[in-house]
Chains A and B, each alone.
Chain A
C-alpha cells in the first residue's frame, strides 16, 4: 500500500486548501469545546499543517511516514502533541487533530472522483491508512511526553520528600512522608547518614506519622536505615506509630525488639534529650 501513488490526494490537498481548512476547522472546533484562544491556536496549527502536508506529498510521492521526506511533518506533529500535553489535552483530543481531517478530505476526493468509484475507493483507502499512521504517531509522541512528565515528577518527589532536621544539639529528626520503596530508602539513608556526619548527632528520631502503611518491605527498609545509622554510632528512635500500624507490625511478625519505639514525636524527643544528658524544666524549675 505504501507504494500506492496518491496523485489525487496530492492535488486535492493543494488545490482545495482553503475549503479543506474551513471544513477541517469546523469539525475540529466543534469536537474540542475549547475557548477562543485555543481556537485561534488551532487555526494556526492547522494552517501550518496543511501546506506542509501538500508539499510533503508532492515531494515524496509516498505515503510511508517513516521515510526521511516526512521528517518535517513528523516534527510539526510532535511539537503540536507536546504543546497539547502541557495544556492538559486528553489523548483523544490530541489525536482528533489528525483524524478529523479525514472527513473533509474524503468528501473532496469523492466529489473529484465521482465518475470512477474504483479509483475513489482505492484513493480513500490509501488516504485513510496514511492518516491512521499520522494519528498513531501523534498518540505515540503524546504518550512519551506524558511518561517524561511522570518521570520528572517522580524525581522531584524523591528530592522533596526527605528532609533531615536538627531538633536539638545531637538530636536529628527524619519525618517520613509517603511510602518507603527501595529507591527512597536509599535517598533517606544517604541524607540521614550525611547529616549525622555533619552535625555529630548521637540520636535520630524517625517519625513515620506520614507513612500510610507499613508492610514487611517497608519495615525491612526502616530496619536497614536504623542499622546503618547504628554503624555510624547514632541510635534511632521510631515515633509516630499509629494504632493500626502497631497492629500490622505485630501481625506481620516484624521484630522491632532492638529498636526504641514511641507513639509520638514528643515522647521520642524527651527520650532523646534524656539520652543526650539534657532535660526540660518549666520556669519554676519543676520537671
Chain B
C-alpha cells in the first residue's frame, strides 16, 4: 500500500501530499504522523497541500483532527499551499479548520514555525 512520505528537518516534520487523497491513505497518514512526532520528538508539523485539487468533508476533518492530535503531542501544525477552490469548498462544507494555522506557501509556513521556537 502506498504511503505519504514524512520528511524530517531538524525538529520539524514536513508532509507533502502529492497524490489524490483517499480515505485509507488519510488514515494511514494520521497514524504515521503521530508515531513520527513521538519518535522524532518533533515540535512542528508542516503539511503542504498545494498539489491537492479536491477535498471532501472527510479529508477536511482528517486535517483538523491531525492538527489537534499533534497539538496534544506538543507539536504545532501549519497547513500551507491551499488552492482557492479547495478553500471555498471547505468553507461551503462548514469546515473552517479553527485551531489549524495556515500559510500561503512552504516558505512562509516554515518562517511561522521557526518564529515560535
The smallest beta-carbon distance between A182 and chain B, in angstroms, is 11
The smallest beta-carbon distance between B104 and chain A, in angstroms, is 4
The answer to whether B87 has its CB under 8 Å from any CB of chain A is yes
The smallest beta-carbon distance between B115 and chain A, in angstroms, is 11
The smallest beta-carbon distance between B52 and chain A, in angstroms, is 12
A231 with B102: in contact, given A189-B88, A193-B84, A193-B88 (CB under 8 Å)? yes
The smallest beta-carbon distance between A225 and chain B, in angstroms, is 8
The answer to whether A190 has its CB under 8 Å from any CB of chain B is yes
A227 adjacent to B105 (CB under 8 Å):
no
How far, in whole Å, are A7 and B103 apart by their CA atoms in the complex? 82
A189 to chain B: which residues have CB within 8 Å? Answer: 88, 91
Residue of A nearest to B103 (CB): A233
A224 adjacent to B91 (CB under 8 Å):
yes
The answer to whether A228 has its CB under 8 Å from any CB of chain B is yes
What size tier do the contact residues of chain B reach?
A: 10 to 19
What size tier do the contact residues of chain A reach?
A: 10 to 19
A232 adjacent to B108 (CB under 8 Å):
no
The answer to whether B80 has its CB under 8 Å from any CB of chain A is yes
Residues 66-117 (chain B) with a chain A CB within 8 angstroms? 79-80, 82-84, 86-88, 90-92, 96-97, 102-105, 108-109
A202 to chain B: which residues have CB within 8 Å? Answer: 104, 108
B88 to chain A: which residues have CB within 8 Å? Answer: 186, 189-190, 193, 228
Most chain A CB within a 10 A radius of its CB, from B80, B92, B96: B96
Residue of B nearest to A192 (CB): B84
Residue of A nearest to B60 (CB): A231
A233 to chain B: which residues have CB within 8 Å? Answer: 80, 82, 102-105, 108-109
The smallest beta-carbon distance between A190 and chain B, in angstroms, is 7
A194 with B108: in contact, given A227-B96, A232-B102 (CB under 8 Å)? no
The smallest beta-carbon distance between B54 and chain A, in angstroms, is 15
Residue of B nearest to A230 (CB): B102
The answer to whether A217 has its CB under 8 Å from any CB of chain B is no
Q: Mark A205-238, 1 if CB is under 8 A from B, else 0.
A: 0000000000000000000100111111110000
Most chain B CB within a 10 A radius of its CB, from A190, A200, A233, A234: A233
Residues 144-194 (chain A) with a chain B CB within 8 angstroms? 186, 189-190, 193-194
B104 adjacent to A231 (CB under 8 Å):
no
B82 to chain A: which residues have CB within 8 Å? Answer: 231-233
A278 to chain B: which residues have CB within 8 Å? Answer: none
A228 with B87: in contact, given A233-B82, A233-B102, A233-B103 (CB under 8 Å)? yes
B91 adjacent to A200 (CB under 8 Å):
no
The smallest beta-carbon distance between A37 and chain B, in angstroms, is 52
B104 adjacent to A234 (CB under 8 Å):
yes
Residues 229-270 (chain A) with a chain B CB within 8 angstroms? 229-234
Most chain B CB within a 10 A radius of its CB, from A189, A190, A231: A231
Residue of B nearest to A186 (CB): B88
The smallest beta-carbon distance between B66 and chain A, in angstroms, is 15
A193 with B108: in contact, given A230-B102, A233-B80 (CB under 8 Å)? no
B79 to chain A: which residues have CB within 8 Å? Answer: 231
Q: Pick the contact of B90 from A190, A196, A197, A231 — CB < 8 Å?
A: A231
How far, in whole Å, are A186 and B79 apart by their CA atoms in the complex? 23
B97 adjacent to A231 (CB under 8 Å):
yes
Residue of B nearest to A229 (CB): B87
- What 9 additional pairs, Cβ within 8 angstroms, besides A233-B105, A233-B109? A190-B88, A196-B84, A197-B104, A200-B105, A200-B108, A228-B87, A229-B87, A231-B86, A231-B96
Could you name 5 residue pairs across A and B whose Cβ atoms are closer than 8 Å?
A: A189-B91, A224-B92, A228-B90, A231-B97, A234-B104
The 6 A-B pairs at the shortest CB distance, nearest first, are namely: A193-B84, A233-B103, A227-B96, A233-B104, A231-B87, A233-B102
